[in-house]
Amino acid sequence: MATMLGVAATLVALLITGSLAARILGPTDRGYFALLVLVPSLVCQVGGLGISLALTHYVAAGEIGASQGLRLLRRVLALQVAAVTVASVVVGIALNLGHPGYVMGAVLIAASFAVTTYLKEYTVGLVQASGRSVSANLLKAFSPVAGAVGLTALYVGGAESLTAVVVVWAATEWISSALLVVVTRMYLRRDAPGGDVDSAVSRARILEFGRAAYFSYLSPLDTFRLDQLYVGVALSATALGYYAAGAAFTTIPRVLAHSVGLTAAPLIARQRFGARVSVRRTGLVLGGLAIGTSAVTALAVGLSAEWLVPALYGDAFRPAIALTQILMVGGFLFAVRRILIDVLRGVGRPAAGWRSEVGGLVVFAVLAPVLSAADAEAGVAWAFTIAAAVNVGSLLWRERRLVRLLRSP
């Protein structure tokens, strides 16, 4: 019940922030805001190199203590934070050249999102690795709920400034990240009162696992949101505003799958040295839960988009209705991919899936320019959805042994 409460709080908060950001900013500034938030997120994912995934895996498997692993990686983590912060500023300025001056000023504020992204990623991952699935899903709700509260205050106050939205968003990100750090430290101290455990896990081993998991877990289209980046760079800020409004609904199946996956991967990692039936049961139950709920929500949003989009964002965003309907199909497919990858990571196959990801990326790179020339941002949405289908289909074919394992009695 508490887990579902955390997921529900996250989804409601994300819908509120999406709605308020659209109503405060309008289509064009909503597009600028999407690009400002996208850049540090993209840079963090590229610079993360799967290290947090690897650390979570080894902690969940009991091969190293959480505090022990953080000390082992402290220099790597410090270098990551410094590098991605600088890169966020450089990339943000480069992508916003020629945009209004207030957008360029907001780039510097948005660069701080790189630090908060890593804080959230490591803290929630370590809490999940300790077996506290309920707590991890509740902690994940901290940031979106804080953002919803901040934007609500801004909306009630009558603000209509992109700079104000970015400042409030940054403040809520830092406050929620600080709370996550405090809670996670409390858990770590409680879990290891006697000190470190004997461990053969080295820094090199963690980095190697991270590199193996990197391309499999992180999808350039889904995680990096290259489709939004393409719209923002190749089309216009207004087009990105409409596209981001439609893409915001795909967060629902993605959050559902990600929340279940956070539970599945460490749980299977702890079970994989035991009976095969336990792994199969866990994979079937959690995989079925993630895919089933994602399918229902994607269908519901797609069917109700005609009234849902204007109700949440206002009549100015009616062009996002068709985009929402197209993108929900792709969002569901990537939710399926996410839970499959988490199951594979749990059974010790972190590199599975990268070939299918390359295939989907090639399809998008070929189709996006062609289809967008004919149908603007709707063409990009179709390219994204077709690429998602290729990605998931290829993954299921390549990992058909896993499918047989889950289906066998």
For CA atoms 61, 67, 68, 71, the dihedral sign is positive
Q: Indicate whether 347 pLDDT > 60.
A: no
In sequence order, what DSSP letters do the residues of 32-50 get, joined into one string? HHHHHHHHHHHHHHHHHTT
Compute the distance between CA of residue 55 and CA of residue 22 in angstroms, rounded to an integer. 37
Q: What is the pLDDT of residue 373?
A: 92
pLDDT band at 131 (very low <50, low <70, confident <90, very high): low
Highest mean pLDDT among 6-20, 31-45, 58-72, 270-284: 31-45
Q: What is the largest CA-CA distance in the chain?
A: 64
Question: pLDDT tens, 298-328?
Answer: 899 999 999 999 999 999 999 999 999 999 9
Q: What is the pLDDT of residue 12?
A: 82
Q: What is the pLDDT of residue 273?
A: 47
CA distances, 22 to each of 3, 98, 244 (Å):
29, 23, 10
Q: Tokens standing for 199?
A: 């461990």
* Mean pLDDT of all residues in 106-114: 84
Question: pLDDT tens, 198-223?
Answer: 566 777 787 777 777 666 566 677 77
Number of CB atoms found within 10 A of residue 53's CB: 24
Count of alpha carbons within 13 Å of 86, Cβ hemisphere only? 5
Q: What is the pLDDT of residue 275?
A: 46
* Residue 36 contacts residue 164 (beta carbons within 8 Å): no
Q: Indicate whether 11 pLDDT > 50.
A: yes
* Residue 130 contacts residue 187 (beta carbons within 8 Å): yes
The residue ranking higher by pLDDT, 387 or 99, is 387
Q: Indicate whether 380 pLDDT > 80.
A: yes
Q: Indicate whether 52 pLDDT > 90.
A: no
Q: 253's torsion region: left (phi>0), alpha (psi -120 to 50) or beta?
A: alpha
Q: What is the pLDDT of residue 85?
A: 86
Task: Looking at 249-398, list the stretches that DSSP marks H as alpha helix, in order from N- to C-terminal side.
Answer: 251-271, 276-313, 320-346, 354-398
Q: What is the pLDDT of residue 384?
A: 94
- Give the mean pLDDT of the chain: 79
Compute the distance between CA of residue 33 and CA of residue 254 in angstroms, rounded to an integer. 21
Q: What DSSP state is assigned to residue 316?
A: G
What H or E segment, with its residue span, contains residue 111? none
* Mean pLDDT of all residues in 278-292: 65
Compute the distance between CA of residue 262 and CA of residue 260 in angstroms, rounded to an integer. 5
* Residue 66 contacts residue 59 (beta carbons within 8 Å): yes
User: pTM for this structure?
Assistant: 0.77
Cα Rg of the chain, angstroms: 21
Q: What is the pLDDT of residue 206?
A: 79
Which among 94, 352, 133 has a CA at the least distance from the CA of 229?
A: 94
Q: What is the pLDDT of residue 211?
A: 73
Q: What is the pLDDT of residue 108?
A: 85
Q: Tokens standing for 207?
A: 């980095």
Highest mean pLDDT among 47-51, 248-252, 282-286: 248-252
Q: What is the pLDDT of residue 97?
A: 84
Q: Indicate whether 350 pLDDT > 60.
A: no
